Amino acid sequence: MGSLAAMLFSGPLCAFSRGRLESVPVMLSGSIMMTLNLEPVSPMIKVTVCYPLIHLCVAALIFRLIRAERDPGTRILSAKPLVFIGVISYSLYLFQQPVFNRPPLGFVPVFPWSIMVAFALAIASHFCVERPAMKLRNRFL
């Protein structure tokens, strides 16, 4: 869906698709599709209709938030803590699976500590592995 959105939002289709995909009906249809997804709908309808429309609506929403500087959603997503989460998101993606899919340690509650451990590992990985690798890459480019 990201590739389709990139094609729609760049090049000759951009002017045509931009207004239609940012419109309220698209956002509304996404809400309807998410609701249908919760109801007992046949799996074939979900896979062929609901999921693609939900993804298209999410892509349109992301495109709108990227373009609209004064939008409240854009301001919220531009907050420093959320931007930092975006910066470490790949590391967080890598470490969330092993951290969250482990057995509990007896008396230690899993939930709050697992989030902190995942974030700590992601931050360490970002600063100790990713950044040095990016600097090394830039040196060879």
Q: Which residue has the tokens 């830039």?
A: 138
Task: Residue 31: give the domain boundaries.
Answer: 2-76
Residue 85's pLDDT band, with cuts at 50, 70 and 90, is very high
Question: For the chain, how long is the longest CA-to-CA vector?
Answer: 60
CA 17/CA 44 separation, integer angstroms:
27
Same domain, 43 and 90: no
Residue length of the chain: 141
| Type of residue at 43 | P
Residue 128's pLDDT band, with cuts at 50, 70 and 90, is very high
Q: What pLDDT is attached to residue 21?
A: 57
Mean pLDDT of 20-27: 59
Same domain, 13 and 48: yes
CA 126/CA 108 separation, integer angstroms:
27
Residue 56's pLDDT band, with cuts at 50, 70 and 90, is confident
SS3 string, the chain, reads: CHHHHHHHCCCCHHHHHHHHHCCHHHHHHHHHHHHHHHCCCCHHHHHHHHHHHHHHHHHHHHHHHHHCCCCHHHHHHCCHHHHHHHHCHHHHHHHHHHHHCCCCECCECCHHHHHHHHHHHHHHHHHHHHHHHHHHHHHHC
Q: What is the pLDDT of residues 99-115, one digit of tens each?
A: 777 666 655 556 777 88
Q: What is the pLDDT of residues 62-73, one digit of tens each?
A: 777 776 677 777
Report, in angstroms and rounded to the nearest whole number, the Rg of the chain calculated over CA atoms.
20
Same domain, 69 and 17: yes
Same domain, 92 and 125: yes
Same domain, 10 and 72: yes
Number of structural domains the chain divides into: 2
